[in-house]
Structure formats: structure tokens, C-alpha cells
């Protein structure tokens, strides 16, 4: 809206889109009403706006201003200027026209901590992401990210507004889907599910079958993820959700319990020392293989044995469950595995499943995703498919 204000000279008004007006008398001066700041210099000083610096000099002989513009670095464009008093317009608390895609850029940078990676996620070039970030800095009147050690770190303001923006964007998506009528048979999208090799073997086959029957145009892809790194992958938007055996320490996650899993000891049918059952003596005397995603040589079994004053012999550690069957068939090893996975392997390999001679750990598996996605109908739909699939495992 075009309005006017009165001011003594020299006065400069900045509308945020490149137009400024000057006067030498106390007259009405046209000014576009917006949420942009009105800058009134108290002395000779450059008139600064985001991305551009206007150097203004009054020439009394010619009764006119000479104006020279230059493009300063972003930090200079938004840094406080001691020569200016910044007044927000009266419309500061009202909603002005803002491109909502800018908020998608903000959230992507927040997750990725990198402009190039954010651009790849949004199908934008890195310069386009940089320009969008400049606009965001102008909207909020401060820097939203600072570069530290090659990483875009969010400022305190960004940390405060990011959860609200996540929730707001989720509400908008939910509103659009609700208005268009959510029907999984008519949606076309792809979802990235984080799983380890246990989840791929036990949960994925039935889940894929269920998804393909109810939503033929929904493509479910899996990414390697464990309880140790799933929350980081979700926060970086590398995956949409995950199935984990233990809850990660992250307050931004929504969690749903799925099923419980205990453990058994597995060996070859031809193991020379184990036949009709497994005693504690046999268990401690055997050579053990351990599955550890980080290459550790001890786990919950060793902690439980230490409490009992005992110790087993671990001869090797592998990072994948899928390597265990072949190793057990080739050497007289013993390995503690989740029960359902042991039963799955025993269908294809000559393996013996033994009950543990010590109390078994009982892990509760969870479906995890970001909190704001609980308002997203597509996310809720895939959650329901995972829960119903896992109920069939019980």
C-alpha cells in the first residue's frame, strides 16, 4: 500500500525492494507500507539495506542528492549500523506476503548444515540457496546461520524457530492432503525407511507386500540405519523414518512401540561339543562370534556374564548379521542372535537353535520419525502399515 510520512531532511526511507525517497523540506514523502524497516540517519552515514549499500551525498549548489551504490558482503549488509535508528513499521506483527518455499530452504539448511547439500535435497543450485538465505536473513532482520569449520551452524534464533516451522509446514501439508482427500491408492511418492539387516530380513518382505497392495504408486526404499545413527539420519532428512531396537537420545522424535525380541544361541548342526541343549559350561568353553556395527568385542552378553563373575571367549566381530550363517557352517563357532532372525536363518542353513543358559535380553523395537510428521497423513499411513506388519510377527 502506498502511503506517506513527514520528516525533516535529510531523510531516507527504504522499502526493502530497491526504492528510496529523499526530501529537504518537511513534506509528505511517499513510502511503500510494508514490514520493512524505516532507517533515519542521525548523521552522515551510508543508507544500508540487505544486499545493497546506497552512499548518499547532498549537493547544496545543485539542491540534489548524488547517490552511489555498492554491493557489500552479507555480514555488512545486515550488521547493525550505529548511525541509524531502526524502526519497525506498525504492521510488524501482521502477516506479510512471504514465499513459503523460503522456509523449506531454511529447514533444509538446518538439517543438512550445508548449502550445497540443501540445494541437492531441494533440487536447487547452491547460488539459489544462498540467495534464499539472504532473503531469510532480511525477513528476520538477523543472520540465521553462521559458518563455523565449514558447517552452517544455526543461531539461537534459528534454534528457537525451527521446531515451529517444522510443525507449521507439516500442518500445511496435512491441510493440503486433507483438502484433496487422502487416498493411498492415488498418491505417488517415495519413502525412505531406515533398517538394519535384521529389519530387512524380518520386517521388510511383508511390509513391501502390504504397501504395494494398498498404494501401488508409493515406492518404499531402505537405507542402512541402526539405533546408533538412525536419529541423525532422520534429522538430516536422509531417511523419513526408521525401525530401531533401542530408542536413541533425541527429544525431536515421535516413537511407536512395535514388538519385543529375545535372543538365542546358534551354532551348526555339526558342532562337535553341542548337541541336545546348551549348558553354561559349554557356552563359556565355545568360541563366540559377535555382531557389532562398530566393531566392538563385547556386548550385553558379556555385561551379564561379568555380573555373574564369568567370561566367554569372543574370537571375532562382524558388522552384519548376514555374514553369520556361513561362518557358523564353516567353523565350530557359537553366536547369540535375535530369535526371529535365528529362525529365519535356520530355514536356509543347517543350524541349531539353543536357549541361552543365562537370562536373555529383551529388546523393544520402535518406529521412529520426527515429531512434526505425526500430523502428516502420508507419514501416519506408513506408520500404520509398519505397525500392522509387525503385529503379524507376534
Are residue 272 and residue 356 in the same domain, yes or no?
yes
Average pLDDT for residues 211-223, to the nearest whole number? 91
Indicate the residue among 55, 87, 119 that finishes a domain.
87
- 188 pLDDT band, cuts 50/70/90, is confident
- 254 pLDDT band, cuts 50/70/90, is very high
- 187 pLDDT band, cuts 50/70/90, is confident
Closest listed residue to residue 334, CA positions, set 349, 356, 319: 356
Average pLDDT for residues 300-313, to the nearest whole number? 94
Q: pLDDT above 70 covers what percent of the chain?
A: 73
Asked if residue 359 lies in contact with residue 308, where contact means CB atoms within 8 angstroms, the answer is no
Tens digit of each residue's pLDDT (9 = 90 or more) over 59-91 = 555 555 555 545 444 444 444 433 333 333 333
Are residue 148 and residue 67 in the same domain, yes or no?
no
Nearest 5°: phi and psi at 210?
A: -65, -45
pTM above 0.75, yes or no: no
| CATH number, position 131 | 1.10.10.10
Are residue 163 and residue 196 in the same domain, yes or no?
no
End-to-end alpha-carbon separation of the chain, Å? 64
Are residue 36 and residue 83 in the same domain, yes or no?
yes
* pLDDT at residue 178, rounded to an integer: 62
- 312 pLDDT band, cuts 50/70/90, is very high
* pLDDT at residue 100, rounded to an integer: 82
19/257 Cα distance (integer angstroms): 57
Using N-to-C axis directions, what is the helix angle for 377-391 and 156-180, rounded to 10°?
Answer: 80
Q: What is the grid cell recorded at 70?
A: 555498492
**215: buried, middle or exposed (CB in 10 Å: 19+, 13-18, 0-12)?**
buried
Are residue 345 and residue 268 in the same domain, yes or no?
yes
Residue matched to cell numbers 552452517: 152
* Residue 343, domain extent: 263-361
Stretch among 129-133, 178-182, 330-334, 356-360 having the lowest mean pLDDT: 178-182
Amino acid at each position: 500500500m502506498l502511503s506517506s510520512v513527514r520528516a525533516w531532511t535529510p531523510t531516507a526511507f527504504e522499502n526493502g525492494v530497491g526504492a528510496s525517497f529523499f526530501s529537504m523540506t518537511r513534506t509528505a514523502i511517499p513510502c511503500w507500507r510494508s514490514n520493512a524497516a524505516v532507517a533515519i540517519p542521525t548523521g552522515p552515514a551510508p543508507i544500508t539495506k540487505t544486499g545493497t549499500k546506497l552512499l548518499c551525498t547532498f549537493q547544496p549548489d545543485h539542491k540534489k542528492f548524488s547517490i552511489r551504490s555498492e554491493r557489500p558482503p552479507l555480514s555488512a549488509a545486515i550488521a547493525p549500523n550505529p548511525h541509524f535508528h531502526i524502526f519497525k513499521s506498525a504492521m510488524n506483527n501482521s502477516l506479510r506476503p512471504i514465499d513459503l518455499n523460503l522456509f523449506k530452504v531454511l529447514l533444509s539448511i538446518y538439517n543438512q548444515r550445508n548449502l550445497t547439500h540443501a540445494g541437492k535435497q531441494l533440487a536447487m543450485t547452491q547460488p539459489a540457496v544462498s540467495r534464499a538465505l539472504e532473503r531469510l536473513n532480511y525477513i528476520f532482520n538477523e543472520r540465521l546461520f553462521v559458518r563455523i569449520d565449514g558447517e552452517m551452524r544455526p543461531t539461537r534464533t534459528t534454534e528457537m524457530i525451527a521446531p515451529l516451522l517444522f510443525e507449521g509446514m507439516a500442518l500445511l501439508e496435512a491441510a493440503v492432503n486433507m483438502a484433496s482427500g487422502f487416498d493411498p491408492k492415488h498418491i505417488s511418492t517415495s519413502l525412505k525407511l531406515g533398517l538394519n539387516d535384521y529389519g530387512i530380513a524380518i520386517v521388510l518382505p511383508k511390509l513391501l507386500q502390504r504397501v504395494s497392495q494398498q498404494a501401488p504408486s508409493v515406492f518404499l526404499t531402505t537405507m542402512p540405519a541402526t539405533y546408533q545413527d538412525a536419529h541423525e539420519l532422520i534429522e538430516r532428512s536422509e531417511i523419513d523414518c526408521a525401525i530401531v531396537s533401542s530408542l536413541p537420545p533425541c527429544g525431536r522424535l515421535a516413537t511407536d512401540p512395535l514388538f519385543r525380541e529375545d535372543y538365542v544361541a546358534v551354532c551348526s548342526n555339526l558342532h562337535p561339543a553341542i548337541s541336545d541343549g546348551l549348558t553354561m559350561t559349554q557356552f563359556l568353553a565355545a568360541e563366540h562370534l559377535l555382531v557389532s556395527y562398530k566393531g566392538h568385542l563385547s556386548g550385553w552378553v558379556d555385561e551379564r556374564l561379568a555380573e555373574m563373575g564369568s567370561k566367554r571367549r569372543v574370537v571375532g566381530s562382524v558388522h552384519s548379521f548376514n555374514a553369520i550363517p556361513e561362518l557358523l557352517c564353516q567353523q565350530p563357532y557359537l553366536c547369540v542372535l535375535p530369535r526371529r532372525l535365528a529362525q529365519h536363518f535356520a530355514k536356509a542353513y543347517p543350524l541349531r537353535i539353543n536357549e541361552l543358559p543365562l537370562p536373555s535380553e529383551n529388546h523393544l523395537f520402535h518406529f521412529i520419525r520426527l515429531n512434526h510428521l505425526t500430523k502428516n497423513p502420508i507419514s501416519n499411513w506408513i506408520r500404520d502399515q509398519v505397525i500392522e506388519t509387525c503385529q503379524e510377527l507376534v
